[in-house]
Amino acid sequence: MVLSSAGRFDLVVVGTGPGGYVAAIRAAQLGMRVAVIEEDRPGGVCLNWGCIPTKALLSGAALVEDLTRHGETFGITTAGLVLDYGKLIDHSRKTADRLCKGVQGLFKKNQIELIPGRGRLAGPTSVSVNEEALVEGAQILLATGSTEWVPPGIDVDGERVLTSREALESKRVPARLVVIGAGAVGIEFAYVYAMYGAQVTIVEMADQMLPGADPDVAQALQREFRRKNIEVRLGTRFEELKHDGSGVNVTVSQDGTTEELACDQVLAAIGRRALSDDLGLEKAGVQVDAKGFIRVDDTLRSSVATVSAIGDVAGGPLLAHKASEEGIAAVEFLAGIDRPAIDHAAIPACIYCEPQVAWIGMTEAQARETYGDVKVGKFPFTASGKAIAAAHTAGFVKILAEPTYGQIVGAHLVGHGATELLPEIGLALTLEATTAEIIGTTHAHPTLSEALLEATLAAEGRAINF
Amino acid sequence: MVLSSAGRFDLVVVGTGPGGYVAAIRAAQLGMRVAVIEEDRPGGVCLNWGCIPTKALLSGAALVEDLTRHGETFGITTAGLVLDYGKLIDHSRKTADRLCKGVQGLFKKNQIELIPGRGRLAGPTSVSVNEEALVEGAQILLATGSTEWVPPGIDVDGERVLTSREALESKRVPARLVVIGAGAVGIEFAYVYAMYGAQVTIVEMADQMLPGADPDVAQALQREFRRKNIEVRLGTRFEELKHDGSGVNVTVSQDGTTEELACDQVLAAIGRRALSDDLGLEKAGVQVDAKGFIRVDDTLRSSVATVSAIGDVAGGPLLAHKASEEGIAAVEFLAGIDRPAIDHAAIPACIYCEPQVAWIGMTEAQARETYGDVKVGKFPFTASGKAIAAAHTAGFVKILAEPTYGQIVGAHLVGHGATELLPEIGLALTLEATTAEIIGTTHAHPTLSEALLEATLAAEGRAINF
């Protein structure tokens, strides 16, 4: 082992996903000498194999649907529509490449040293790289993220059986696709493949799509998916799959009855697990919980004072923006900045199919449990002038407020462009704003964002346009 | 003259645009007996001949551009693309019809009496309808709006020379169109016609598009319009036009040099004037300003205590949402509710071409005049992962904050979806929020709304992704 020629860093970050790279930049801004260690492409799963490349696919899928479903409404007809999914994958990879290069540019601009290789803790203030070099840091930040969790019995071969990782490079649209899991990943891929021509069936063990989401939202999405001829089977358990040269048979069970689903390809989108098992945590004495997530306190420090952890590997909602926020917070805590802890109750969740799904704060059930008689306001996009003009009237906005002061406690949206409407409610949660303050804010007409205003008015029993 | 059979109302509203109809509903919610008088279609210009039907056209135009400019990126190719503008107009009219019926439904639901006919003040508490019936109200609310202002020398015939009113029913796309005026209306129609095949030239007397907008925004839009082959001639004055059977000649002058522009159609989009000149104002003693706008105080009362006025006819920015806000405010003041006056500094402005333009609060010049050394943060959509994935990277977000506390004072946006991003900044203005509070709010990744966060970070010298 040799000591890195660079000597000791103020901060060594392991992993360059949206947690790690953002933390590194913030640390550099605060005057720290920073190294980042990355064994794969800078940018992590989010940028290379997750959030970003899937949004490229979803943008194409939305355009296909707009054209085929609404084109005639707008006087647009096409004699011979050809969909080349391979080109869509090319755009998706180019998008990831561009952003990956962007992250490397940001490292240079901020004088952050990028060390390629596999980082493992070698002690409380040192990280080994490929078990060859040793990088010393006054502080270590673990940001290694998570990876697909595939249950036993599913053999991912990249041809017949894929996870999102393989799907992002696969240029083929199967005739019949079974998606196992109706979480964000399963739903987004189901939508993309369906729009590019696949017959898609989603199998979900829970009794709603998006387990954990407000049931109103989940049901509305399910209705819309059925309209798109995407089959959604809830309360249905994956049992096993067999595949040969001609196709795949997926065995599922519902209420004790088993059934075989014949298809051409299976996408396993069941869940993710923390990438903490080969990180050398035991060498430094860093503790993990029963699921393998690194235990951290409110300041994101692990059980070892010189080791912090952020993002997916530290548990909580496995979301890129949560990782980024934690990255900034962890570094600011290390720098001694007096700042609040991350409010995990105000982390938005977004699903980017059409209609989009977006929420922040409490579900209605959680709000009722906390406050009793909650103020609930709902506004459907069928009553929105902008939505009607755009031929995108699916979905609604639901606003939740606590009963005494009307403080906003949650928002749940299904609809076109819903993911872009959350920040107003995000700021409302940050500032503990009330319905009166949302109502006192002029919303531009005609925008979809007026639905936030109308739902808030409805929560106070004074909706105007519904 | 006969007294209306309904007897005396608590409130008589003249005009059912977004000011009048919203005011009537709010008044009904507050327990008033309300009549509305409307000589045309309920919903006013906004709903029938303005905001709403144009958004239907713009949705089609954006889809055409997405398909023709970005389709191949997403693997979408069309052998024979046919654009039927007549169908687009049909969709636009259907959209207006649906909302117009919606407003009538809202009147019924709220037990508001709709009286068809031309309303004119007959005295401080009475309105004549078609000079036949007289409707008495303890309070009168004037919400008659505005109409196109066409300068002398422009003879609108609906064939060769149109205003937006005629354009909304015209099913023909001219080969060559000259648009006089680069305000919101001119820009939106220029974009629609260009996408459906017209060669468009915009003539604007001022030295920027969107006079009054932040110059950065105007310049960015102009650049994008040139990329779309829409010619924009600034500092160019309309002199006269002549038309015969074969076409139109528009004479314009620039720096003292005149030139003739040959085209097939002209759209006059120069400005609007208050509909106050045949309202019987003099009978009740209601005063207007030099431009014909009804003078109102902070509670929206005119010079006559029983007569209030809202929306375009009362001046200020001629925007639907400003009219609605004033409608609610006027009625709440009449009901004795203790509420703040309308903050005209926090009224958003939106233009719905692609890229969209949206702003709220002070321009940079206004902020510098007020605060001296302003905090300015800018973030281009070329650095946004969502924008790259969606192939919509034009434009930027600019955030302005006052220097001492970082209080947000304005935002100026050009970009895809920009109009939906304003409400966060709107709420920030309502709550006098600071950059720290925007930064402390988690923005979902990947969304365009992250550009608001990044621009705010940039205003504090700590941008992450740029």
Q: A52 — contact with chain B (CB < 8 Å)?
A: yes
CB contact under 8 A, B321 and A442: yes
Residue A316 contacts B, CB cutoff 8 Å: no
At B243-290, the pLDDT tens digits run 887 899 999 999 999 999 999 999 999 999 999 999 999 999 999 999
- Give dist(CA A113, CA A10) in Å, integer: 12
Verdict on whether the full-model pTM lies above 0.95? yes
Give the residue-averaged pLDDT of B204-228.
Answer: 97
CA A312 to chain B, closest CA, distance in angstroms equals: 14
**Average confidence score pLDDT of chain B:** 96
Model pLDDT for residues B332-355, shown as the tens digit of each residue: 999 999 999 999 999 999 999 999
**What was the pLDDT predicted at A153?**
85
HEC per residue, chain A: CEECCCCCEEEEEECCCCCHHHHHHHHHHCCCCEEEEECCCCCHHHHHHCHHHHHHHHHHHHHHHHHHHHCHHHCEEECCEEECHHHHHHHHHHHHHHHHHHHHHHHHHCCCEEEECCEEEEECCEEEECCCEEEEEEEEEECCCEEEECCCCCCCCCCCEECHHHHCCCCCCCCEEEEECCCHHHHHHHHHHHHCCCEEEEECCCCCCCCCCCHHHHHHHHHHHHHCCCEEECCCEEEEEEECCCCEEEEEEECCEEEEEEECEEEECCEEEECCCCCCHHHHCCCECCCCCECCCCCCECCCCCEEECHHHHCCCCCHHHHHHHHHHHHHHHCCCCCCCCCHHHCCEEECCCCEEEEEECCHHHHHHHHCCCEEEEEEHHHCHHHHHCCCCCCEEEEEECCCCCEEEEEEEEECCHHHCHHHHHHHHHCCCEHHHHHCCCCCCCCCCHHHHHHHHHHCCCCCCC
**Nearest Cβ partner for A419 among B349, B358, B447:** B447
Enter the DSSP assignment of B67. Answer: I
Taking an 8 Å cut-off on Cβ atoms, the answer to whether B95 and A385 are in contact is yes
Q: Which residues of A touch B325 (CB under 8 A)?
A: 442
Contacts of A421 in chain B (CB under 8 A): 420, 423
What's the rounded mean pLDDT across residues B1-6? 46
**How far is B254 from B269, CA to CA, in rounded Å?**
19
Give the tokens for residue A376: 């609930």
| Residues of chain A below pLDDT 50 | 1-3, 5
Six-digit token string for B207: 């030295």
Res. B406: pLDDT tops 60? yes
Confidence class of residue B327 from pLDDT cuts 50, 70 and 90? very high
Please give the C-alpha separations between residue B231 and each of B154, B191, B221, in angstroms, as whole numbers: 22, 11, 12
The whole-number pLDDT of residue A245 equals: 76
Say whether B433 and A440 touch across the interface (CB within 8 A): no
CA atoms within 13 A on the CB side of B277: 7
In chain A, residues with a C-beta closer than 8 Å to the C-beta of B441 are 346, 423, 426-427, 429-430
- Residues B352-383 have pLDDT tens digits of 999 999 999 999 999 999 999 999 999 999 99
Structural tokens at position B82: 């046919």
Angle between helical axes of A85-109 and A51-65 (0-180°, round to 10): 140
CA distance A253 to chain B (A): 35
Task: Please write the tens of the pLDDT for every residue from B165-178.
Answer: 999 999 999 999 99
The β-bridge partners of B135 are B127
Tell me if B320 sits within 8 A of B51, measured CB to CB.
yes
CATH of range B2-58+85-147+273-345; options 3.50.50.60, 3.40.50.1390, 3.30.465.10, 3.30.70.3280: 3.50.50.60
**Which of the residues A94, A195, A442 would you substitute to probe the B interface, choosing the one with the greatest number of B C-beta atoms within 10 Å?**
A442
Report how far apart, in Å, the C-alpha atoms of A211 and of each of A163, A250, A395, A422 are.
19, 22, 18, 20
Separation of alpha carbons A293 and A264, rounded Å: 35
Alpha-carbon radius of gyration of chain A: 23
A151-269 topology per CATH: FAD/NAD(P)-binding domain (3.50.50)
Classify domain A2-59+85-148+273-345 at the CATH topology level. Answer: FAD/NAD(P)-binding domain (3.50.50)
pLDDT score for B6: 54
The pLDDT tens digits for B52-96 are 999 999 999 999 999 999 999 999 998 889 999 999 999 999 999
Residue of B nearest to A419 (CA): B447
Q: What is the pLDDT of residue A232?
A: 98
Q: Indicate the residue of B75, B428, B437 with minimum beta-carbon distance to A85.
A: B75
Helix or strand run (H / E) with residue B350 = strand B349-351
User: Which residue on chain B is closest to A319 by alpha carbon?
Assistant: B445
Distance CA B395, CA A379 (A): 31
Confidence of residue B2 (pLDDT cuts 50, 70, 90): very low
List the single best residue of B63, B93, B360 to mutate versus A (max A Cβ within 10 A).
Answer: B63
Q: In the predicted model, what is the mean pLDDT of residues B223-241?
A: 97
Q: Quick one: pLDDT at residue A40? A: 96
Q: Which of A328, A424, A439 best probes binding to B when mutated, by most B CB atoms within 10 angstroms?
A: A424
Going from N- to C-terminal start, the domains of chain A cover 2-59+85-148+273-345, 151-269, 355-459
Which residues 372-401 of B are in CB contact (within 8 Å) with A?
Answer: 383, 385-386, 388-391
Which of A70, A392, A443, A445 is catalytic? The answer is: A445
Verify whether residue B445 is a known catalytic residue: yes
Q: With cut-offs at 50, 70 and 90, classify the pLDDT of residue B1.
A: very low
pLDDT tens-digit profile of A154-195?
A: 999 999 999 999 999 999 999 999 999 999 999 999 999 999
Tell me how far apart the alpha carbons of residues B379 and B454 are, in angstroms, rounded to a whole number: 6
pLDDT at B59: 98
Minimal C-alpha gap between B240 and chain A (Å): 34
Domain A355-459 superfamily per CATH: FAD/NAD-linked reductase, C-terminal dimerisation domain (3.30.390.30)
Q: How far is CA A443 from the centre of its chain?
A: 28
Least Cα distance to A378 among A465, A281, A454 occurs for A454
How large a percentage of chain B has pLDDT more than 90?
96
Residue B431 has pLDDT above 50, yes or no: yes
Answer whether B18's CB lies under 8 Å from B47's CB: yes
Residue B147: φ, ψ to 5°: -140, 170
Q: Which residue is it, tokens 């819903």?
A: A418
A91 touches chain B (CB under 8 A): yes
Shortest Cα distance, chain B CAs vs residue A146, angstroms: 17
Q: Residue A69 — φ and ψ, nearest 5°?
A: -95, -35
Instruction: Please list, in sequence order, all residues whose beta carbon lies within 8 angstroms of the beta carbon of residue B179, skipping any fewer than 6 positions away.
Output: B186, B189, B190, B200, B201, B202, B203, B266, B267, B269
* Encoded tokens for A94: 């180019």
Measured between beta carbons, which residues in chain A are less than 8 angstroms from residue B384? Answer: none
Q: SS3 of B70, please?
A: helix
Q: In CATH terms, are B2-58+85-147+273-345 and B151-269 the same topology?
A: yes
